[in-house]
A and B are shown apart, each in its own frame.
Chain A
Amino acid sequence: MKKTKMSRRDFMKAGLLTTAAAALGPVAFKPTGLWAATPNLKGPIKVGYQAVLSGTLAGYGAFHNMGVILATEEINAAGGIAGVKLEVEFRDSTLAAPEAIKNARYFVDSWGADFLGGIDSSGQALALAPVMAELDRVLMVTHAATEKLTEEHVFKKGIKQVFRICTPTYQDSNAAAFVAKDLPVKTWSTISPKYEYGYTCWEMFKNTLTKFRSDVSFIADSWAPFGTTDFRAHINTILDAKPQGFYSTEWAGELISMVKQANQAGFFEKVKHVMFPVGAAMDVLEGCGPELPDNVWISGRYFFLYPDDRRNNDWVARFRKRWDHYPAYVSETAYSTFYAFKKAVEESGSKDTAKVIQALEGMTFESPAGKRVFRKEDHQAMYNVPWGLTVSNPKYPFKVMGKQIVIPAGECFNRPPFEGPGTKPPF
């Protein structure tokens, strides 16, 4: 893989894209806010981005990078941020917290980054939060989903430098419960990752669903350690319990393996109602191909067919033209991160951290995934991602969402102060 710092060839491609970009996204590129009046920003705006580029999840880093490069090319082709050039450096975060911290310190203290973005693992995000307070730069988290980041570090401890542009665990569990309450299922089961993410989501799913319906029970759970490739024993465990419904927060390659092995065991004929909160990830849809059955509930942090409006469809087309690939959800969150920074800088007329934080808090902005609002209290981006039933479509070589249900973020996300009555859905 190439370094993100743009090579000459990238610039030429960017040139070709300029026309398209300038024509297609005119609203976003118009100078607005304070900058329009006082265009006095100095030097390039530097964004340090990190995501996992090595090991079994390296594909996610590659998808992040596609979104990062596309955003950089488009923004610079249209005149940069507040008239100054955008510079990006991309580093391998691996999955280890010390590595993420080292990268962040390098970006800020050595390279001179104004903003940071990225981060896949929840552990890394939590470890980075106090460091961001020390470094005093805005970090936009684009993949890590733990609700502890925004609830505890941002809201309770007041680390204002951290924002999150992707949906957190609320989407995976609370929104799932909204869908599950209307299914004819009384007994639920799970195979989930044997780490915090898996435990938290299952717990939240159970709690929210129980509030809706008193007649459901949760009869089997089987936990797969990180790196599991053989799910056959887990699948047997679930089949023995004979549940009506199955919920699994397995994701990426492990979800692909599990789906294939479940298919071989005839799992989907026995368990009719299946929910995969991160099943709508591109790598999963493509990796499973036809082996992902129809009529499975899937969701993600963004799905390229939603919203079905001009902004999103144009973006998907531009993305496909640039990369010959459908955008993964991390591509979208990475891409939108840069437009969030752009808007915040142009509105505040400064790249000063305190001013940008002020601009970002409560800021509304348009992105391929639709309208996003950064909630002031916990810096969580509020936007809607659908849950949908898988269906075959001859237009695509993989399953896509057919019937979709949108649970508005305002309905299914926990609300500040996150403790006490009325903070957890249903409201």
Chain B
Amino acid sequence: MIAAFVAVMLAMDGNCPPPLTLPAGLAIPLVTLAPLSSKTAHTGDPIDLVTSDDVVVDGTIAIPKGSAAHGQVAEARSTGGLGVNGKLTLRPLYLTLGDTTVRLTGSTIAKREVPAGTAIGMVTLTPVLSGATATVGAQTVIPAAVLKTVMIAQCPKPN
């Protein structure tokens, strides 16, 4: 709140634009950087994600394409006996813009692939064929959204 007030004051002073508001639910397009497999992944493993496109708010690029984001393997189940499929659930967690942490949430589906435009929670991938390992290739789309409304200052921090 204080940062926002200062930013507004500086904006009134003509020094920098007002802060941007990233509302809860704002779509954040993410992709994986490395392949993942239910055979080798473990619950809790960190996963590196990156924004696949600019996120624009009020005509301003709030989050540039290629911004790093952090996620986690929420569940990794290897294949079991009796034709049990492997299962891989990924959870987008957050990204950092300057000094601000932007909390994220993802999509909940249970399919082998993640279709574009799917909406929110955790991404769960389960192979179509029984007994198969769930895999996620690099550059797999992980739909995510801002979890909590947050304001980001547009001014560089003073030295």
A joins B in a complex: no
Q: Which residues of A contact B (CB under 8 A)?
A: none
